[in-house]
Amino acid sequence: MQACRVEPEEISLEKNEHFPNNERCPVLIYRSAFGSEPSADAVEECFARHGWSNGWRAGIYSTHHYHSTAHEVLGCTAGSAELQVGGPGGPRVALGRGDVVVIPAGVSHKNLGSTADFCVVGAYADGRSYDMNYGEPHELGRAERNLATLPMPGMDPVLGASGPLLNRWRA
């Protein structure tokens, strides 16, 4: 299955008292990137072909959390959910089957509620290992150091070298 050519929505976030977020790289949401009936295998294969691996299949934590060592992509293969990005009070994102959200390192995300069958394929840019951070004060210094040295992904996880991620994140 080939991903559909679609221009992503963008959500720009600023650092707040608990989460570094990522002022340089917006959250990108690709609506219906894999149509309405994506298979988990096809989504995982597309991400891997574009250098996003070290993946998993499950839901999304219902606690605000972020990764400071890896950029993350989530492709919805079943059900739907409402996510919150940026921490408490941050924007809400509806995610449905076939949608993809790319979450830059440092950006808090949380599942606010989902259908019983909700499932995503998750993966990380360049197969990097991810850490878990929850907005605790002692995490911030280490997280900011990690973010300062984290390389940009090699390709857009959905559309590869021709995708908009690299331009939007390097602008």
Residue 64 confidence (pLDDT) above 90:
yes
State residue 3's pLDDT score: 65
| Residues above pLDDT 70, as percent of the chain | 96
Q: Which residues pair with 119 in a beta bridge?
A: 78
Of the candidates 130, 126, 129, 133, which has an alpha carbon nearest to the alpha carbon of residue 152?
126
Nearby residues of 145 by Cβ (< 8 Å), 6 or more positions away: none
**Measured distance CA(107)–CA(122) in Å, rounded:** 15
Is residue 35 very low, low, confident or very high in pLDDT (cuts 50, 70, 90)?
confident
Fold observed for domain 9-157: Jelly Rolls (2.60.120)
- Rounded to the nearest integer, the mean pLDDT of the chain is 95
Residue 27 burial by Cβ neighbours in a 10 Å radius (0-12, 13-18, 19+): buried
Question: How does pLDDT run across 153-169, given as a tens digit for each residue?
Answer: 999 999 999 999 999 99
% of the chain with per-residue pLDDT over 90: 91
Angle subtended at Cα 165 by Cα 159 and Cα 170, rounded to the nearest 5 degrees: 150
Domain boundaries, the chain: 9-157
Q: Is the pLDDT of residue 121 over 60?
A: yes
Predicted structure pTM score: 0.95
| pLDDT (tens digit per residue) in 67-103 | 999 999 999 999 999 999 999 999 999 999 999 999 9
